[in-house]
Amino acid sequence: MKFNLLSKTKTQTVNHAGEKAFTLSAEMELYTAVVTWSLNDSFYEKDEARLNRLRHLIYACEPRFVAKLAVYARTKMYMRSVPLVLVTELAKLHSGDNLVARATAGVVNRADEITELLACYELLNQRTGTKKLNRLSKQLQKGLSEAFNRFDGYQFAKYNRDGAIKLRDALFLVHPRAKDDAQQELFNKIVNGTLETPYTWEVELSAIGQVHYESDAAKALAFRAKWEELIDSGKLGYMALLRNLRNIQEAGVSYAHFEKVCARLADAGEVAKAEQFPFRYLAAYRELINPVVSKVPAPGVLAKLTALMQGSNKGYTGELLSALEKAVQASAVNIKGFDEDTRVLLACDVSGSMQVPVSAKSKILLYDVGLMLAMLLQSRCKNVEVGMFGDKWKTISVPRHNILGNVQEFYRREGEVGYATNGYLIIKDILQRKVQLDKVFLFTDGQLWNSNNTADHIQTLWLRYKAEVSPSAKLYLFDLKGYGQAPLQILRNDVYLVAGWSDKVFEVLAALENGGSALDAINKTEL
């Protein structure tokens, strides 16, 4: 399936900054909105407005594309919330076949997503009070039934949480048919509330708080022993490990256990299997080099236990940082198309609209995501310039194989260029210097404008650069927020749009290298 991204409708518009921009096709706009989704207000767009725009785009696209996009967002881009929104909205408008059922089964990858999807369905269909979920979409029900047959007792017990919709409620709503006697027994346990307590790191550590110890020192030793047991067991998930590096360090675990932690972090197979956003590694890195202590202590046993730790293993911080660097490099190893002859420019937007968190609870900014993706790419390039733009455009020299450290260096220096979005200066610079490049990458939220009140615009400058300096050059816009416009005309004059936060966006680059479009990877998704 191919999409004509340059329709006969009006293509020119203005962006949120009031600058000339270009419209996208409904499919391309939906793609950018989905893979940059977060449930907190963005700089230019409130939650409700973004959700309404998403709904409008869903109705404007072919249902099969929406279904494939939902599965792609969940399985390739690691998104969790927005695939549920897509499936819920798709169930409203499409019937007559099993498309919704297949999409539902495709986006439910964890047991708790069964109840999350039902909660989303209830909310978006305004099923409150007496209405509730008594009329569930038949195809959505069929997809959830397939999901119920996929999980075992441990997975159900781990995610059997006390939310508004519980697993027991979901079982009664969906009515899955057990595939054998063992699964029927498992379903009975869900109904009766007799699922075995799972072995998880949260449960194991919390149990220490229920025991009386003769001193805080004795409790701290028990805490250390438990961390070591969890590390030895192999049952501490990769994401849990990544988020607890400082806690493990402060618990004072033995050096042998520290080595196990570092080895697992840096293992390429574990990195691939963990499917973490690249900026998760950056968050862990920053927590180690500059830990932020909350003014208001977190409630609960774990917070109190953590307070007992005295930072016994601070000397091992360097090894942890090295392990994180190896992990990030492993996530970049499959980036293709950049040999010693490929001339590349990477430009990072550090404007004010990029200085917002990616989600309500995150300390990572949209700006960090752009830097992270740029440094991942830079690690694979051999002939490369990198820089940042705001009021001004400035190139900065950093080592190739120091991804996380490079992000920190850019972060430290972002004030040097100001906070406007004068992306046109990048193209103007290479045009004036007559620098021949093969690929130019802009990591931005797409809201570029000219704060200098000149006639310069990135579209016209790019056309001049192509004509006067490098006819074969390609420009790639990494859209990190999905507002729905582009500063240049996409798929004209070798201009391409890529969106998302996962390192999987580089698979889209590979598709572009082979003559495809950013939507080809979605259309290849199996339902």
H or E stretch including 350?
A: none
Do the Cβ atoms of 283 and 244 come closer than 8 Å?
Answer: no
Domain ranges in the chain? 12-192, 201-234+236-331, 334-523
Higher pLDDT, 21 or 243: 243
pTM given for the model: 0.82
* Three-class secondary structure of residue 385 per DSSP: strand
**Predicted pLDDT at 129:** 53
- Determine the Cα–Cα distance for residues 437 and 428; give it in Å rounded to an integer: 13
> Within 13 Å and on the Cβ side, how many CA atoms surround 80?
13
What are the pLDDT digits (tens) for 363-373? 888 889 999 99
DSSP string, 454-472: SS--HHHHHHHHHHHT-TT
Question: In Å, what is the CA distance from 470 to each residue of 437, 438, 463, 491?
Answer: 7, 8, 10, 17
CB-count exposure of residue 456 (10 Å: 0-12, 13-18, 19+)? middle
Q: How far is CA 148 from CA 203, 374, 395, in A?
A: 24, 40, 53
Strand, helix or coil for residue 281: helix
User: Into which CATH architecture does domain 334-523 fall?
Assistant: 3-Layer(aba) Sandwich (3.40)
Quick: pLDDT tens for 340-388.
Answer: 889 999 999 999 888 888 877 788 888 899 999 999 999 999 999 999 9
| First CA to last CA distance, the chain | 15
CA distance 471 to 465: 8
**pLDDT above 90 covers what percent of the chain?**
55
pLDDT digit string (tens) for 226-283? 999 999 998 889 999 999 999 898 889 999 999 999 999 999 999 999 988 898 999 9
